[in-house]
Amino acid sequence: MKTFFLTLVSLTLISAGALAESPNERVHVLQKRDYSVKNKIEVGGLFAMSVDDIFTQHYAGVLTLDYHIDEAFALEFTWLSCKIPFYMGDKVSDDPAAYTGGWLRSGHSYTDAYYNIKDDAQLSPSNADLAMISNYWGLNVEFSPIYGKFSLFNWGLARADFYVTAGGGVVTTEYMRPDKSWVDTGLYFMGSFGMGFRIFLARWFAIRLDMRDLTFAAKVEGEAGATGTTTETKIRSTLFVMLGVSFLFGGEEPVQIWSPY
Amino acid sequence: MRSGRSLRAILVAAVIVASSAPARADEPVVANQLYDMGGKFEMALSPVSMSIVDKYTRHFGFSLGFDYFFNDYLGIELDAGYNYINGDRKLLNEILRTAQTLDGIHKLPLTDLKHMTWFTNIGLVFSPLYGKLDFSSEFAVSMHLYFVAGAGVAQYQYTELEDDPGNPEFGSFKKVTKTYTGGLTGAAVQPTFHFGGGLRFHITQGWGIKLEIRDVFFYDKYEADWKPAGIDVQQKTIKDFVHIVFLRLGVCYTF
């Protein structure tokens, strides 16, 4: 009888193992989610550069502050800065709108295409195409539906969170006139959306790679006409690639649930 | 004796359960690699192929690919495509429309004006990374990340300006599309090179979805018109590598 009981226990254990390996298991489809972000606060520092502008080139520092409401949703505050905020440099005499540039605009530059079209072809892009983002302060919602594991040549395992973000905020933009003086175009609303992933190196530390598209209405001086200078507005969209690190604080220990994947 | 038998039975059960656990040092680090490309062929159709981060041109088209994988990491591909929309961006037209300095200019002294009509190439596929993604804890998708590099041929076009007083769009000239014949060969077909990378999401053992970014470039050399002093038109040789970056989305079948 006891032998029969032990055999039954053994069979139960074996069958439990077999059932647990069923490919139809749908609760936590990846086993051992080692990195949880729920209720964590994440502070990130990233370097950003614009990649799709034809005539302008931005280099920026980015500070992010995320609160992860759960594993999938987070609220993020973003500060992207190409220049010291609210400081314009020295004012150009007799022109209240214009300032001279300098080291404070080291995150702003024009591409070779700008000099090519201006100097070689003697053509002029509109001022709206030359406007550059100085500072952006925004609030985003981050949705992170994908968690993944990767092996590189089967050497080691990396874990990553993929996310999409959408939000908006305020931006200051400036542009440079042909006489190399800078004009502040003011503070106005800007929309943002993007995607990215964080690769967890520890439960408190991750590498982040982001792509953010920032869309704004560049409102600049147009052609000088008989009745004075006109105002020109153009919807501009600038794509930034960002790379940096983030630190995670607080939160919960991850719950490890077995799955066949 | 009975207790010894019980101990043995429990040990046997424990060994069997333990043997079903996936984590062993000599096993793949991602347990249960469900999709291996080694020794397989793949056909891919990308009905969505568009250029991104363009300067003055734009492209929409499709492409077809045929790959063979020597093992899970390395393969070879044949790839061809056609851009049914290719031409200048609105931005260039805006600049030309407002220009005051184009008298006597027929070939613009700008780089990156060439747009691609068709291409075919051969290359290597290098696939170092295999992974599994968990979508909202509901379903798992296996994927390969891969890189491609190679060479091929393509045909390019560009626009020249011809005098046309009273043209409704540009005023004194019109744009005419020409087949490009400069570059390394001086022929209508140019040698090209490419590199890129993408993700292959395995949906079933046969079918998958591919998302890819690919930079196709060629050596551009042509005689352009320019006015260094603002009055007399002179010839200037423009030399540059013209890059067109394509974003592709498509389906693939492995067999």
CATH of the structural domain A28-250, one choice from 2.40.160.20, 2.130.10.10, 2.40.30.10, 3.40.50.1260: 2.40.160.20
**pLDDT at position A31:** 53
Q: Is the pLDDT of residue A24 over 60?
A: no
Annotated domain spans of chain A: 28-250
Residue type, B57: T
Mutate to test the interface with A, among B132, B233, B236 (most CBs of A within 10 A): B132
Q: Is the pLDDT of residue B18 over 50?
A: no
CB contact under 8 A, B94 and A126: yes
Minimal C-alpha gap between B108 and chain A (Å)? 7
Q: Give the ipTM of the model, two decimals please.
A: 0.70
What is the SS3 assignment for A24?
coil
Query: If you measure CA to CA, which chain A residue comes closest to B53?
Result: A52
Query: If you measure CA to CA, which chain A residue comes closest to B20?
Result: A17
CA A169 to chain centre: 14
- Output the six-digit token pair for B66: 């045929």
Instruction: Report residue B30's pLDDT band, with 50, 70 and 90 as the boundaries.
Output: low
Minimal C-alpha gap between A260 and chain B (Å)? 8
In a domain, B2, yes or no: no
Average pLDDT, stretch A60-81?
93
| CB neighbourhood size of B59 (10 A) | 22
Average pLDDT, stretch A29-35?
58
Instruction: Report residue A227's pLDDT band, with 50, 70 and 90 as the boundaries.
Output: low
CB contact under 8 A, B134 and A2: no
Answer yes or no: are the C-beta atoms of A238 and A213 closer than 8 Å: yes
CB contact under 8 A, A157 and B32: no
**pLDDT at position B17:** 38
From the list A54, A120, A239, the residue facing B55 with the nearest CB is: A54
Compute the distance between CA of residue A149 and CA of residue A200 in angstroms, rounded to an integer: 10
Taking the CA atoms of residue B173, residue B177, residue B183 and residue B188 in that order, the dihedral angle to the nearest 10 degrees is -150
CB contact under 8 A, B236 and A157: no
Answer yes or no: are the C-beta atoms of B130 and B33 closer than 8 Å: yes
The reply to whether B136 touches chain A by the CB within 8 Å rule is yes
Compute the distance between CA of residue B190 and CA of residue B180 in angstroms, rounded to an integer: 9
Instruction: Report residue A32's pLDDT band, with 50, 70 and 90 as the boundaries.
Output: low
SS3 content of chain B, % helix, strand, coil (to 5): 10, 60, 30
Q: How would you class A232 by CB atoms within 10 Å of its CB: exposed for 0-12, middle for 13-18, buried for 19 or more?
A: middle
Nearest to A42 by CA among A192, A211, A171, A161: A161
Compute the distance between CA of residue B194 and CA of residue B199 in angstroms, rounded to an integer: 17
Compute the distance between CA of residue A76 and CA of residue A65 in angstroms, rounded to an integer: 6
Answer yes or no: are the C-beta atoms of A27 and A257 closer than 8 Å: yes
Minimal C-alpha gap between B164 and chain A (Å)? 20
Question: Which range of residues forms the domain containing residue B219?
Answer: 37-254
Q: How would you class A168 by CB atoms within 10 Å of its CB: exposed for 0-12, middle for 13-18, buried for 19 or more?
A: middle
Angstrom distances, CA of residue A89 to CA of A85, A97, A100, A110, A180: 11, 12, 6, 19, 13
CB contact under 8 A, B132 and A148: yes
CATH number at residue B229: 2.40.160.20
Name every chain A residue with its beta carbon within 8 A of the beta carbon of B91: 54, 125, 129
Phi, psi (deg, nearest 5) at residue B91? -60, -45
Compute the distance between CA of residue A77 and CA of residue A17 in angstroms, rounded to an integer: 45
How many domains, chain B? 1
The pTM of the full predicted model, rounded to 2 decimals, is 0.76
Residue numbers of A between 195 and 254 with CB closer than 8 Å to B: 239
According to DSSP, the β-strands at B234-254 and B207-226 are antiparallel
Instruction: Report residue A137's pLDDT band, with 50, 70 and 90 as the boundaries.
Output: very high
Minimal C-alpha gap between B42 and chain A (Å)? 21
Lowest mean pLDDT among B19-23, B38-42, B91-95, B169-173: B19-23
CB contact under 8 A, A29 and B16: no
**pLDDT at position B19:** 38
How many Å is the Cα radius of gyration of chain A?
A: 26
What is the SS3 assignment for A102?
coil
Nearest to A143 by CA among A163, A167, A160: A163
Instruction: Report residue B136's pLDDT band, with 50, 70 and 90 as the boundaries.
Output: low
pLDDT: which is higher, A71 or B136: A71
